[in-house]
């Protein structure tokens, strides 16, 4: 296991930020850590990275307890924070150079590494520009390059694509996917975009500092989301049938939507009433529905 957390607890005066939290992150997986602002995500991340001290529980990263010496942990860890930590007055190149120096990467070794990151993230067109002159997408590329400069084994991404345009978000995820495939990089992600969480290997949903649900996206959607049968023909008959069976039905201009609990329930309706289903589709419940069902909150609005 890359991360092992048991019964983690952290308080700020009278506020319990993290309450009896336990989970594990496997090597090489994309792990999504979800919750509204104030749920305890950033607190947990700051404890994992050694920025904050915990009040209780155990936290192991790469098999080492964070209460011990953390140099070995930090040398294998890269972080992309919500807000950029680059020096805004320095150029991208100088930011990379100063960061690399902290890991003993100098001279020719740094130039080789910078060229590698340029190949991944396209840095040469912005390398001489001060960070304060960069667009949001350009700054995010530089943030990720900074986190990757020392070839970490674990990359923590704290809402890395918030505010980015779709094209830049796609480019960022291509880099991350490539690193996972080629280097077996483990990625720990927090995000407000449920389509990003939907491709994760494992998901933990946090609510008010406590773990509210966990599992693969498929398992969570099966347990918490509602599937929809969308029917485009025989609307009056279908609406009457499903309403009489207690199903939630929504009538639209050219179709009706029937909410059912999972694919098995949808299949059962279709098999029993084949004459109504000559033009239909089944829409699988999504991670937005899961989050709303588990927490009672819309993650983006919250």
User: For a pLDDT cut of 70, what percent of the chain falls above it?
Assistant: 98
Average pLDDT (181-193) is: 91
Q: What's the token pair of residue 220?
A: 């969570």
Average pLDDT (91-112) is: 94
Would you say residue 95 has pLDDT above 80?
Answer: yes
Would you say residue 299 has pLDDT above 70?
Answer: no
Phi-psi category of residue 299: left, alpha or beta, with phi > 0 → left and psi -120 to 50 → alpha: alpha
pLDDT given at position 297: 66
User: For a pLDDT cut of 90, what percent of the chain falls above it?
Assistant: 55
What pTM did the predictor assign? Answer: 0.87
Average pLDDT (46-55) is: 92
Q: What's the token pair of residue 94?
A: 């100088």
pLDDT given at position 126: 93
């Amino acid at each position: 296991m890359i991360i092992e957390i048991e019964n983690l607890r952290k308080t700020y005066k009278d506020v319990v930020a993290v309450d009896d939290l336990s989970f594990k992150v496997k090597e090489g997986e994309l792990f999504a850590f979800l919750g509204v602002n104030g749920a305890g995500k950033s607190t947990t991340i700051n404890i994992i990275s050694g920025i904050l001290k915990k009040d209780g529980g155990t936290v192991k990263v790469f098999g080492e307890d964070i209460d011990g010496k953390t140099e070995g942990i930090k040398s294998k860890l890269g972080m992309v924070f919500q807000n950029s930590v680059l020096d805004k007055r320095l150029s991208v190149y100088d930011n990379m150079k100063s960061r690399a120096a902290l890991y003993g990467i100098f001279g020719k070794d740094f130039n080789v590494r910078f060229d590698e990151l340029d190949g991944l993230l396209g840095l040469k067109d912005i390398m001489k520009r001060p960070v304060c002159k960069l667009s949001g997408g350009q700054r995010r590329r530089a943030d990720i390059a900074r986190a990757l400069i020392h070839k970490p084994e674990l990359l923590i991404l704290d809402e890395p694509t918030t505010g980015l345009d779709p094209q830049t978000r796609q480019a960022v995820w291509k880099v991350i996917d490539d690193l996972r495939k080629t280097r077996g990089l483990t990625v720990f992600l927090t995000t407000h975009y449920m389509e990003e969480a939907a491709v994760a290997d494992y998901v933990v949903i946090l609510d008010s500092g406590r773990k509210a649900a966990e599992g693969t996206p498929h398992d969570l959607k099966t347990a918490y989301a509602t599937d929809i049968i969308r029917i485009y023909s025989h609307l009056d008959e279908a609406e009457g049938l499903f309403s009489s069976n207690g199903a939630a039905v929504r009538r639209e201009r050219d179709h009706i939507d029937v909410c059912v609990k999972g694919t098995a329930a949808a299949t059962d309706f279709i098999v029993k009433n084949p004459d109504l289903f000559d033009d239909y589709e089944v829409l699988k419940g999504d991670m937005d529905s899961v989050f709303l069902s588990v927490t009672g909150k819309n993650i983006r609005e919250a």
